[in-house]
Structure 1
Amino acid sequence: MADKNRLSQVQSTDVSQSRINDDLVYWLKTKGSNYLLVVLITVCAFLGWNLYREKQRDAVKLAWNDLAEATTVEDLEAVAKAQANVPQIAMLALLAAGDMRLQQLQSGFIVRPVEGQPAQPLDETSRKVVQDAADDDYAQVIELAKSVAKSGASGPVVIPALIGRAAVAESRGDFVQARMMLEQAASATGGFTALSKVTTARLASLASIENGVALPPKAAIPVKASIDPVAPDMTGDILRSLEMPVTAPAPTPEPEPAPAPAPTGG
């Protein structure tokens, strides 16, 4: 009896396993391929996303290297153009280019004197070209900053750009434009104490630059007719002493010999 029950259980188990296998085969034939395709697509998408992120990191690293190696205005502007899809790099490159052009305006030379190359002084035409180029560099920084404004990371870049545009306007004598740029920079310095101090100082000094310093004409400067000597004039005495002939000192007389003692008698 026990053997019959055991045989019945084994047969029931075999039938159940057979049904499970049949159901699995049926599921694989009808729906399994679809699920397998979804899994494969998910895996491929994950691998593709990782590859894309890796390429992005490599591109940003290369952009930083290009920025570090740029030493001239042309190099910096080329980096900004090539890395337009990385606005942080482009903004820093344009900001550095604008600052370098401001240095040219301050020094009065197109480029700094380099060994083996003479300095190129700025004339009126080249000065205007440098002013326009510097203002354009700073303006591009401000435009690019709008694309990253939501991240809150544009403040430390856009404020120096506004101050730079104000400096260019000052060099042109356009103090209205300079004040407007500085006021915009002052309104954007929330949370940046150092930049706020710089902007406030620039606004305070703008009035003195705008009004200028009135220097009196040379004819209005009082000049004393004669200046009292601080010591008596000894020039004549010195010249006369130099003209006197130089005489040798008199020889010292030699002492006379002492007389011999008188002989004494024995």
Structure 2
Amino acid sequence: MPSRRIPLFVWAWTCFWLFFSSLPRIQAAGSVNVSISNTSPQIIYTPFLCNASTLIVDPGCLGAWNETNIAGIPVVSTTGPAPNGADIVPQMFMAFRASALFMSTSVASNASANFTVSSASVTASRLINSGDGLVAIVGLVETDLTTLTITFIPGQDTTQLDIGSITITVTDPGSTSSFLPTMTLPPSMSLPTFIPQSTTSSSASPSPSKSPQTSSHHAQLAEALGLVLGLGVGLSIIAGAILSWWKRRRRLQAEQQNAWF
């Protein structure tokens, strides 16, 4: 089905409260605005999500998403890829059924991000300056399952992307499983397990054990890496199969031509 453009608007932060106060007047008749927590289990953050209030508490969260508060408002924040996150570009994935979605950032957010919305009837992508404060996606088909993908855009300088409040417009606010289904990512390949060699030297000092929190980060990082590698390997296999078929076809054509001489 051919895609169609949908309006994707950005309002300045100074208009934030004015805009939300006008929501009841601009929403469709019979529709209700429902707030979604930015840490909802139905939202997936890659490479992983930390709950450390600052990076000093857990330096392992550098390069990932971090739950924090800015000006008393709970946000999920990232400053982009870093070695602790295997230099994976931070992304957010959310699947929902609604006629509109409104997302705020924060006064500290200044990074650029790519917002991609896709469903059976809609495909749209827009580069957004998160410093504008609010992203509004309207004109969606509520009966379609829509996927929102937010991708951090690294720049020359350190920037910050904050996900603040999330509001969707639905007709049945009581059917949570319908308008906010569980989000699933494409299957990923398994990463190899590396077992460090043990030493027989009695003078060797034991290595410090990893904390459960660090192990959790590594497990989430492995899942994110598996997703990236899995998609890459899958595309490579498809490309290899096409190339092999093309070479075989050329060889058969050459043999048929030589058979006439």
Q: Which interval holds the TM-score relative to the shorter structure? A: under 0.3
Greater Rg, structure 1 or structure 2? 1
More helix by share: 1
TM value normalised by structure 1: 0.20
By relative contact order (CA 8 Å, sep 6+), the higher-ranking structure is 2
